[in-house]
Amino acid sequence: MILVDGEPATAIDARDRGLAYGDGVFRTLKCLAGAPLWWRDQYDTLCRDCAALALPVPDDDTLRDEVGRAAAGADCAVKILVTRGSGARGYTPPAASPPRRIVMASALPPMAQSGAPAEVSARLCSLRLAAQPRLAGIKHLNRLENVLARAEWDDPACFEGLLCDASGLLVGGTLSNLFWLEGNTLCTPPLDECGIAGVTRARLLRRAARLGLASRFERRPPAAILAADEVLIGNSLIGVRRLARIDDAELSDAGWRIRLDELVHEESD
Amino acid sequence: MILVDGEPATAIDARDRGLAYGDGVFRTLKCLAGAPLWWRDQYDTLCRDCAALALPVPDDDTLRDEVGRAAAGADCAVKILVTRGSGARGYTPPAASPPRRIVMASALPPMAQSGAPAEVSARLCSLRLAAQPRLAGIKHLNRLENVLARAEWDDPACFEGLLCDASGLLVGGTLSNLFWLEGNTLCTPPLDECGIAGVTRARLLRRAARLGLASRFERRPPAAILAADEVLIGNSLIGVRRLARIDDAELSDAGWRIRLDELVHEESD
């Protein structure tokens, strides 16, 4: 089901600035029995992203209600898009156009379903992410880099592609954030120049100390993480999964995956 | 008037990948009495841009017919969007989804109308364009940088904002390509890392020799062009206009503007 500004619909105005320029942001949520996981983090992150683009943020209760209506009691993935609404030709933002909300439910992808494998394989993508500090971290609608990177492989045995910046240092996956463990430290790339700073990443970093883990931002080339104790990816749909290999390299398993997946799912903040 | 895949419409599928990811390209054409200017260059450039994203390119005759129907005999601006069509959730490009064509006509903006001023003012934007060689030059739908740059000013006396790359070297305007003259040389920034390589630019570079001009790609900081013989901007709607000032700096007029505007409008190739 799709709701556009709260009304069931299948289409949006052809003059929407989300289409014209990617002028908007989005979120992907997991819903179980129609209830969104991690709503507080998801809404707060939407607010952060809207603020980065000077987009008015939809009302919390209105949006949560629409997520529930789109999910309709099911286990599903719900995508929220917020665009700057319809505009005339040209880049100039409209003076007082209301933002447009699009809330759409889809079936959970296999890796988001219970019983999905705890371990997946990844490959290194050749596309390098461009550095744009004004948009770094934000889940905005300009995602051609992700599309080009995802088009680099079609082997279904490979779940994720890892992306580096122009210097060849790791940023994250096409659809997930990247983590690795070195002793009692949870490492993840900083995302101040490119990449998307997801909700799973924020929850892990905020809570790592509960498992006795320090957390640290690290810029590393891919070769440097092959010897880590364990390498993980995470997003709101799949939770935390271990990378069993990157291309031909087998990666270690230090047993952190299940603990971090439970940590990110804890309800208490 | 708007045509979506050849049919009059005001809306597009909410699952269009142009909206979801900016997964598509566009063109802006000037039509006079319903006839598109520079169709051959526009269509060839659309083909170049589609190829860069591995998008199937719409048929020439079909698209030109749709431009004519949207323009409906008027002097107008016509925008063509080609997206990868509708897709399921996720970045993976659909296997064999046909591209979607959206052709929409708008009134000519004031600067594209006859009698518009030959000279305009520009300012230097603080936003720096990110370097992404895979997307450089292409008029794709990921245009948040242009939106953010255009939002930097609202003084109607300023027509254009000039953009630099991360090194502080000029790339072009938010909606135009940039040129300057030094003696008998027409200079313009190379666009192999960022920026959009427009049809006006291609026509000028291809034809400069007819006016006895050499052409050269130059990476220059803004201060370096203030002393040029003449600074110009161009696009398919406005043709070639002289920059009379950049911020507080008055720029020289060597009388090239009208000759270059006539050159770009010549019908013979």
* pLDDT tens digits for range B33-58: 999 999 999 999 999 999 999 999 99
Domain boundaries, chain B: 2-108, 119-265
How confident is residue B98, by pLDDT bands cut at 50, 70 and 90? confident
How confident is residue A2, by pLDDT bands cut at 50, 70 and 90? very high
Give yes or no for a contact between B9 and A10, defined as CB atoms under 8 angstroms apart.
no
Q: Burial letters for B33-62: b for 16+ Cβ neighbours within 10 Å, e otherwise?
A: ebebbbbebbbebbebbbebbebebbeeee
Residue of A nearest to B134 (CA): A127
Q: Which residues pair with A165 in a beta bridge?
A: A129
Using a CB-CB cut-off of 8 Å, the residues of chain A touching B28 are: 89
> How large is the average pLDDT for residues A242-263?
98
The ipTM, to two decimals, is: 0.97
Q: Which of A12, A79, A142 sits opposite B144 (nearest CB)?
A: A142
B2-108 belongs to CATH 3.30.470.10: yes
Least Cα separation, residue A65 to chain B (angstroms): 20
CATH match for B119-265 among 3.30.565.10, 1.10.3720.10, 1.10.260.40, 3.20.10.10: 3.20.10.10
Give yes or no for a contact between B162 and B222, defined as CB atoms under 8 angstroms apart.
yes
**Range of weakest confidence among A63-67, A92-96, A174-178, A262-266:** A92-96
Residue of A nearest to B84 (CA): A147
How confident is residue B88, by pLDDT bands cut at 50, 70 and 90? confident
Residue of B nearest to A87 (CA): B106
The answer to whether A54 contacts B102, with C-beta atoms less than 8 Å apart, is no
- A97 has pLDDT over 90: no
Three-state DSSP at A148 gives: helix
The answer to whether A144 contacts B54, with C-beta atoms less than 8 Å apart, is no
| More confidently predicted of B97 and B205 | B205
Instruction: Give the pLDDT confidence of A40-68 residue by residue, as tens digits.
Output: 999 999 999 999 999 999 999 999 999 99
E strand intervals along B21-62: 24-32, 35-36
Q: Tell me if the pTM is above 0.95.
A: yes
B155: which residues sit within 8 A by CB, 6+ positions away? none
Size of interface A-B (CB pairs under 8 A): 166
Distance CA B82, CA B24 (A): 5
